[in-house]
Amino acid sequence: MPATTPVLSDAIRAFLEGPLVASVATSDDDGAPRQAVVWYRLEPDGRILLNSRTPRRWCANLVRDPRLAISVIDAADAYRWVGLTAVVEEVVDDVERARDDIVALAHRYRPEGPTAAAVAAFRSQPRVTFLARITGIHDHLED
């Protein structure tokens, strides 16, 4: 697999930097598709950060097979969306770091700040973070 990463246009980068949710698709052991709706963050290096409580099937799928597809849809206009293919380059199984990542995501998605109860819950959960390199882009952002 080539190690090249497609260049994100300014429009795609701006879209992905918004606090939209993503649908992540992975493959089960038997090849069946699996989807989950998740929070994400576009990292400065262009990778996608995903975080989840463990154990969840989509997480186990990514550990076994690092390939995934991601769809991000504009909540205000479902005809505007970005589709990505990616490969996980780094699995962060350091629970404290993964907990820091989910708290940071909670602040991204709840600009008024997550509740103290939510932060406490996140800080008590087994968590994992994935950093995925984008390998393909398909978008519908223009009219």
Give all strands of the β-sheet with 40-42 in edge-to-edge order.
33-38, 22-27, 67-73, 81-92, 127-140, 48-53, 40-42
- Which pLDDT tens digit goes with each residue over 63-99? 999 999 999 999 999 999 999 999 999 999 999 999 9
Q: What is the mean pLDDT of residues 16-32?
A: 96
In a domain, 81, yes or no: yes
In-domain check, residue 122: no
- Domain with 76 in it: what CATH number? 2.30.110.10
Distance CA 56, CA 71 (A): 19
Q: Domain residues for 135?
A: 10-94+128-140
Give tens-digit pLDDT for 98-141: 999 999 999 999 989 899 999 999 999 999 999 999 999 999 99
pLDDT score for 42:
97
Q: What is the pLDDT of residue 1?
A: 44
pLDDT-derived band at 39 (thresholds 50, 70, 90) equals very high
Structural domains counted in the chain: 1
